[in-house]
């Protein structure tokens, strides 16, 4: 299929048909990971570069696996082992990599807007692997795919996003995409972790967890991002856990078939009890598995693979 975009930078400007088509293509790649030989020649001869300025386990590893399962050459670059440590700018790093004829650059950066800047200076495709507190589009797309896989449809589902909304690029990308697809989104957390005017994005905001999760279909719990917070935004981890930690007792407020998600990594015992993370409601490992298929789909669409 012909894909209309050069880059994947966010979900904010995606329409419903575009999101749905990406999810449809992802369906084709789920099956590849179940084969005895988990590799197709689709992107043979293509070069994928993972350029990560921040730590990552799931995103970086799944992009690497996705590229290799498509038979692409995958190069991982961490800033500590590159010329970035010597003071090289993002622009110079990107132009250097583009001069080596890379086909796709996946970038994670602590500054919001860095992937957009990068995309304006290189001829190859750029995928946003997370920029500051702005967006994390591939996480939102894999979340939507995981929900659709289990529920069959997305329109009209009620979703509660719980936790550190203010610092979460995952929350923003999900809100943009979910609202575009006609989903009812609630956000919940301490007032200090709810962005000002968050309701302007078409969501309802709560500070009481029990009220927020009542009758929802999906609960998406977010990591408490202490590394991005100023001091004093929450009184203590103990109090946060008591007020906003998800446990089996609290799940009684939600629907009997409620599903639980978390982008990872989980602060166990703070955001979520172990019996919830590992229980029958949990889709957390499904999210991880589907992350590979979703990222295979995006690499295929952007790098122009001929077929499966």
CATH of the domain at 43: 3.40.50.1370
Does residue 39 fall inside a structural domain?
yes
Does one domain contain both 199 and 224? yes
Does residue 5 fall inside a structural domain?
no
Report pLDDT for 84.
Answer: 58
DSSP string covering 100-130, please? TT-SEEEEEESSTTHHHHHHTT-SSEEEEEE
- The Cα 300–Cα 243 span in angstroms is 43
Report pLDDT for 56.
Answer: 86
Burial per residue of 229-240, b for 16 or more beta-carbon CB atoms within 10 angstroms, e otherwise: eeeebbeeeeeb
- The Cα 97–Cα 122 span in angstroms is 9
Does residue 2 fall inside a structural domain?
no
Does one domain contain both 56 and 82? yes
Does one domain contain both 144 and 276? yes
Question: What is the arrangement of strands in the sheet containing 218-221, beginning at the earlier edge strand?
Answer: 204-206, 184-188, 158-162, 218-221, 259-261
Does residue 10 fall inside a structural domain?
no
Report pLDDT for 308.
Answer: 45
Does one domain contain both 119 and 173? no
- The Cα 225–Cα 165 span in angstroms is 10
Specify the number of domains making up the chain.
Answer: 2
Does residue 212 fall inside a structural domain?
yes
Does one domain contain both 268 and 224? yes
Does one domain contain both 194 and 154? yes
What residues make up the domain containing 41? 16-135+288-303
Does one domain contain both 260 and 230? yes
**Residue carrying structure tokens 């200090």:** 192
Does one domain contain both 143 and 128? no
**Contact partners, residue 17, CB within 8 Å, separation at least 6:** none
Does one domain contain both 150 and 249? yes
Q: What percent of the residues of the chain are helix, what percent strand, and what percent coil, each to the nearest 5?
A: 45, 15, 40
Does residue 9 fall inside a structural domain?
no
Q: Six-digit token pair at 293?
A: 């298929």
Does residue 4 fall inside a structural domain?
no
Does one domain contain both 129 and 184? no
Does residue 308 fall inside a structural domain?
no
- The Cα 174–Cα 252 span in angstroms is 25
Does one domain contain both 277 and 298? no
**Is the Cβ–Cβ distance between 103 and 49 less than 8 Å?**
no
Average pLDDT by stretches of 10, the chain with 308 residues: 89 96 96 92 96 90 97 87 65 86 94 94 95 96 98 96 95 98 97 93 97 96 74 79 93 91 91 94 96 98 72
Does one domain contain both 101 and 124? yes
């Amino acid at each position: 299929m012909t894909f209309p975009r050069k880059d994947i930078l966010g979900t904010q400007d995606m329409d419903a048909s575009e999101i749905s088509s990406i999810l449809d293509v992802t369906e084709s790649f789920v099956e590849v990971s179940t084969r005895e030989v988990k590799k197709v020649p689709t992107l043979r001869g293509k070069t994928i570069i993972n350029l990560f300025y921040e730590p990552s386990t799931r995103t970086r590893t799944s992009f690497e696996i996705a590229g290799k399962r498509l038979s692409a050459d995958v190069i991982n670059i961490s800033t500590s082992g590159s010329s970035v440590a010597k003071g090289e700018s993002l622009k110079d790093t990107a132009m250097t990599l583009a001069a080596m004829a890379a086909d796709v650059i996946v970038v994670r950066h602590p500054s919001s807007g860095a992937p957009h800047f990068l995309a304006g200076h290189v001829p190859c495709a750029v995928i946003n692997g997370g920029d500051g507190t702005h967006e994390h589009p591939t996480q939102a797309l894999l979340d939507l795919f995981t929900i659709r896989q289990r529920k069959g449809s997305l329109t009209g589902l009620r979703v509660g996003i719980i936790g550190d909304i203010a610092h979460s690029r995952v929350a923003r990308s999900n809100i943009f995409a979910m609202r575009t697809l006609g989903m009812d989104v609630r956000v919940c957390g301490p007032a200090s972790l709810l962005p000002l005017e968050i309701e302007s994005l078409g969501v309802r905001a709560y500070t009481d967890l029990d009220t927020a999760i009542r009758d929802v279909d999906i609960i998406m719990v977010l990591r408490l991002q202490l590394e991005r917070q100023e001091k004093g935004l929450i009184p203590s981890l103990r109090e946060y856990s008591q007020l906003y930690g998800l446990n089996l007792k609290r799940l009684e407020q939600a629907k009997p078939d409620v599903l639980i998600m978390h982008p990872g990594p989980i602060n166990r015992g703070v955001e979520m009890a172990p019996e919830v993370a590992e229980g029958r409601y949990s889709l957390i490992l499904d999210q991880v598995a589907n992350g590979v298929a979703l990222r295979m789909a995006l690499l295929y669409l952007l790098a122009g693979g001929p077929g499966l």
